[in-house]
Amino acid sequence: MTIKRIGILTAGGDCPGLNAVVRAVSKNALSHGIEVLGFKNGFDGLVRNEFIHITNENVSGILTLGGTILGSSNIANPFNYTLAPFGTPEKPRNMSSVVLHNFKENRVDALITIGGDGTLHMSQQFVEMGMPIVAVPKTIDNDLSATDQTFGFDSALHIATEAIDRLHTTAQSHHRVMIVETMGRYAGWIALRSAIAGGGDIVLIPEIPYNDEVIVNYIQRRKDRGKTFSIVVAAEGAKNEQGEQAVARTVAGSTDSIRLGGISSKISDMIESKTGIESRACVLGHTQRGGTPTAFDRWLSTLYGAKALDMVLEGKFGYMAAFHKFAMDEVKISDAIANLKRVDPHGAEVKAALEVGMSFGSREIG
């Protein structure tokens, strides 16, 4: 199959490194004489048939730029489309046939999708409908089991760690407990690694259920030893022993309708009421998604983008570019979405955290 024109889109939540992938794919394609169409706002661009013709000028200077020049969407699901004028949250429509029509109408030979778990699930559905797709894994959560690391994670981790560094001084000055809320959905990678790197005292992650009394007793023991402040790092998806999580809201039409949030305020209120120690919540939120990617993420994104175009030229459709042992590889998209990569409660990272005196707020693990 001769490849003359490819499409590329960025879907799901944005993160540092997206533009670097777009740049690498486009430069590689254009050097082979292949046209590149950049579909706007994820799969929404294929529903609405909105795209730009990408040239070397379009991608010049975007390596260090955060966000995505193509735009993104985490609610434009063609299989459950809720956006006007085609659908509503009350009456979603299946627009997958429209996507296929527009793909063929524009004479696109292959599509490169860049996104996380939701995007990969949609990509697999289109693969099963016959669309030639190569995927690139993107998520700050680092929760895809088929690759060692996703781009965007290192940048988010750097931002979270810097925030913890800064909060140490204000917590110490006012003798407070500071609760830092990180992203990560159902995986605790950002929280755990930033807590280790930033010297957190307690870390709460989805993989290890926490107990209020364990948290309170740990903070009280620190106070008794003359430690006048504490830092708690809480993943947004942390859950207590009853399995309860803090849910901010739900969004119809999204591949993951639950929007987690509020764990830091919940823990802050609990600590202050039970200890009398002044406590404050700090939600990092979308600061973890924004801004310039780290050098590692620029490097990793470039490798992913270059590999994705190579896979297109090799006809590796239905596969995702993957990063294994500091080399590029490919895996089936269906395998990539089979399992989430989550923190092992008995793994080396948890063990190291415990050995330097951190607590997970758990009666079983510490």
pLDDT at residue number 175: 81
Does residue 254 surpass a pLDDT of 70?
Answer: no
For residue 255, what pLDDT is reported?
57
The answer to whether the CB of 189 falls within 8 A of the CB of 343 is yes
- Average confidence (pLDDT) over 83-87: 91
Beta carbons within 10 angstroms of residue 316's beta carbon = 18
**Average pLDDT value for the chain:** 92
Is residue 55 within 8 Å of 37, Cβ to Cβ?
A: no
The pLDDT score that the predictor gives to residue 257 is 62
Highest mean pLDDT among 72-76, 212-216, 244-248: 212-216
**Bridge partners of residue 36, in order along the sequence:** 6
| pLDDT confidence band for 79 (50 / 70 / 90) | very high
- The secondary element (H helix, E strand) that includes residue 21 is helix 18-31
From 14, 141, 143, 297, the catalytic residue: 141
224 is annotated as an active-site residue: no
pLDDT for residue 253 is more than 60? no
- pLDDT (tens digit per residue) in 31-66: 999 999 999 999 999 999 999 999 999 999 999 999
Q: Report phi then psi at 98, rounded to 5.
A: -70, -40
Give the model's confidence band at 179: pLDDT under 50 very low, under 70 low, under 90 confident, else very high.
very high
pTM for the predicted model, two decimal places:
0.91
Mean pLDDT of 87-115: 95
Instruction: Give the whole-number percent of the chain exceeding pLDDT 90.
Output: 76
Assess whether pLDDT exceeds 70 at residue 323: yes
Rg of the chain, C-alpha, whole Å? 22
Q: What is the pLDDT of residues 268-313, one digit of tens each?
A: 999 999 998 888 989 998 888 888 999 999 999 999 999 999 999 9
Is residue 164 very low, low, confident or very high in pLDDT (cuts 50, 70, 90)? very high
